Chain A
Amino acid sequence: SQQGEEDPQALSIQEGENATMNCSYKTSINNLQWYRQNSGRGLVHLILIRSNEREKHSGRLRVTLDTSKKSSSLLITASRAADTASYFCATVPVSGGYQKVTFGTGTKLQVIP
């Protein structure tokens, strides 16, 4: 299986609710990143959390990292219809640069207006 595995694979919520996605990985990391992909488009970088950080915020996004459990979560608060997209975690290993990044299979989020 891939280094980054997102859970759930798909999530459907009402506008205004919070959305939580999880990512598990297997090897030690330098940092973990979350990306968003609108249907048929490229990926957009959302947030990067380093291995020595436990929590990071950016607007309505909150990311946590638990290196002991090798897992991360992305929380989107007060969701909007425009948040509908697929969300990917990407892990950068300790030893390498971006060429060694591994992407998960993504969580497909649908926010219903």
Chain B
Amino acid sequence: DGGITQSPKYLFRKEGQNVTLSCEQNLNHDAMYWYRQDPGQGLRLIYYSQIVNDFQKGDIAEGYSVSREKKESFPLTVTSAQKNPTAFYLCASSSGDRVRTEAFFGQGTRLTVV
């Protein structure tokens, strides 16, 4: 089945730790995105990548890092510099086509600081 897979579903982080969230897609999409969702708010863009080995900061990139070494994978690291990391994280991908711009989302990772 084609789709986008995030893991783990739940993640707990201690203060001062870095954690990495996984995102894999088999849709052959060029573009991938990471969003953060807080209660009662819309999605905010953290990072995006339009092609392998290239990525750009979104609106709230501070305290986060990414890599795009393979087309299928776009992992997000939440570093200790992110002061308020507890949130729901969503990964998405799209074809990158300017005409068909809908995105496909993973099921999300809920990160909690303990």
A-B contact number at CB 8 A? 64
Please classify how large the interface on chain B is, using the bins under 10, 10 to 19, 20 to 34, 35 or more.
20 to 34
Check A105/B42 contact, CB under 8 A, given A97-B96, A99-B31, A99-B58.
yes
Specify the chain B residue showing the minimal Cβ separation from A44. Answer: B105
Interface residues of chain B: helix, strand, loop or mixed (majority): strand
* A41 pairs with B107, CB closer than 8 A: yes
Which chain A residues border B98 with CB–CB below 8 Å? 30, 97
Bound form: Cα–Cα A44–B92 in Å: 10
Q: Indicate whether A56 reaches chain B with its CB closer than 8 angstroms.
A: no
Contact size class for A? 20 to 34
B41 within 8 A of A: yes
5 inter-chain pairs at a CB distance below 8 angstroms, sorted by A residue, are A4-B42, A40-B88, A42-B6, A99-B33, A103-B42
Complex Cα gap A106–B88 (Å): 15
User: Does the CB pair B45–A45 fall under 8 Å?
Assistant: no
Chain A residue at minimal CB-CB distance from B59: A102
Q: Does B87 contact A (CB under 8 A)?
A: no
Max count, chain B CB within 10 A of own CB: residue among A45, A88, A98: A98
Interface string of B86-110 (1 = CB under 8 A from A): 0010101010101011111111101
| CA of A29 to CA of B33, assembled, Å | 20
Judge whether A63 is part of the interface by a CB distance below 8 angstroms: no
In the complex, are the beta carbons of B105 and A42 less than 8 A apart?
A: yes
Which A residue sits closest to B48, measured CB to CB?
A99
Flag if A98 contacts B94 (CB, 8 Å).
Answer: yes
Which of A4, A30, A33 is B102 in contact with, Cβ under 8 Å?
A33
**Contact A31/B101 with A42-B108, A99-B48, A99-B56 known, Cβ cut-off 8 Å:** yes
- Chain B nearest Cβ from A27, distance in angstroms: 15
CA distance A99 to B98 in the complex (A): 11
B81 within 8 A of A: no
> What residues of chain A lie closer than 8 Å to B92, measured between beta carbons?
43
Let me know if A98 and B105 touch, CB within 8 A: no
- State whether B101 touches A97 (Cβ < 8 A): yes
A102 and chain B: residue at smallest CB distance: B42
CA A41 to CA B109, docked complex, whole Å: 9
